[in-house]
Structure 1
Amino acid sequence: MYNKFLVEKIIKNALIEDMNYGDTTTDLLIDDESISEGIMIAKEDGIVAGIPVAEMVFKLLDDGIEFYDIKNDGEMAKKGDHIVRIKGSTKNILKGERLALNLMQRMSGIATKARLYADAVKEYNTRIVDTRKTTPGLRILEKYAVRIGGCYNHRFNLSDAVMIKDNHIMAVGGIKKAVEKVRRNISHTTKIEVEVKNLKELEEALEVNADIIMLDNMDIETMKQAVEITDKRAILEASGNITIERLKDIAKIGVDIISVGALTHSVKAMDISFMIIRS
């Protein structure tokens, strides 16, 4: 699912940010013996994501807190639906509720958007993938949410694969030089992706046997030609100015991958609230 140790680090850093010297209000108002029960409620329709992350928030504060899933990650929640139920120390529930909500709201918003994009191309053999346009420090959670929504992940970081983009090409002096130079120094297990802006650059990338070729900001007609020219000699990825309205037209062409930065960089958080129902 995700790396537990990385997620714990994210949560611990966020808890320190939120209460570096404790929770003044809760610590002064709530008795240590107080026990409460609360629920998370969907305030709008959406795909739920981040329930195990929210549970980790509360368990790191107090492993005695009881956490009950009502919905599961990947399920649709309608407005008014209960998502999880929590029971335990009132103090620790109150200390964790905002962080748990912040993470779940963000992740659920991403999953909801990813489901819309995935559904738009379900008739085609094309994968919708995310990008590195993620919130700094939250990438592992946001990319998990993309998968929960039904889309796929591109590389997680700069170490994952070789991606030779326009600025690399300009700096080195051409696609051929860039690919040949990097190929001399990488492991046989590492794939090479090259970004191209036109059909001439596509031909150059094919000549040097790039594994993946990114068609950057091309119109539909040019992408059609690129698919024909490539003839399955490389994986083709469409990228740039991708909107949900264009998805089907691009998928119809026969590209293998469509990368969409909007899955993470401009998503609206899903509205989820928390309410104590008995104490």
Structure 2
Amino acid sequence: MSELSKPKEDLQDPDEAQGPEEVQLLGAEGGEATSLSASSPPVSLSAPVEALPQEALNKMVADMVKFLLRKYRAKEPTSYTELLNTVLRDNHDHYPVVFCQAIECILLVFGVDVKEVDPRKHIYITVPNLGLTCDAVQRGGQGLPKAGLLVVVLSLILQNRDHIPEEEIWEALNKMGLYVGREHSLFGEPRELLTKVWVREGYLKYRQVSDSDPARYEYLWGPRAFLETSKEKFMEYLLRVSRRAFISFPLPSAEAVKEEEEGALSQSSSQADLSL
């Protein structure tokens, strides 16, 4: 049984998990190699690379995640060269570890897959994981991607024989720093997202448990989930993450991503004015 189906494990203190720069996700266990969509980074390390302080590494990973999210929303490809020169600048030697952690973050938190489309030039595209298009539905795709959370919820349902009591969903999501009635910097108010937004869009069903008194409720896959993806794809995905544990990754807050986007728009506007 995967780690997703173990909501009662003791993890991090909930108050520690609520910082705007962090979110809980499925991450690689210590010492285990990561196998994701993008190929191994095209860097040859002939000499040992000086170890980075964890804080500096976290900052580089967060910067690369922000950059990849911007590319995702703009529907633009990126490249090894661009990632080096735009994100890492003077830290090229650390590209392999930063790149691997960044694509793991963006997949497991935001539900965005990084795929290499040109192995010779190392060109990458960012696409929705498992075919889910919920981010395009919400705000025209302009907000922070939320498909990663939807993947977690659909996975929990699948592993609980296709329906899961509401209280068990919240036991699991509480471990990730998501609480009913408490606004989250990445996902907003989570109960409204699950019970109203995703039910309205057809990704989830929310219904009363038969013969329950007092009334209890449960979640199931909705018709749109079956239309856009499949249980088989989810099982393949779960095999990729089933040996991972819940850990914290440093991630850009919603405010940080918004500031970066506003800065990029301002810069583009200035360049346009200069060209006139």
TM over 0.5: no
The structure richer in strand per residue is: 1
Greater fraction helix: 2
TM-score, normalised via structure 1 length: 0.31
**Bigger radius of gyration:** 1
Where relative contact order (Cα < 8 A, 6+ residues apart) is larger, the structure is 2
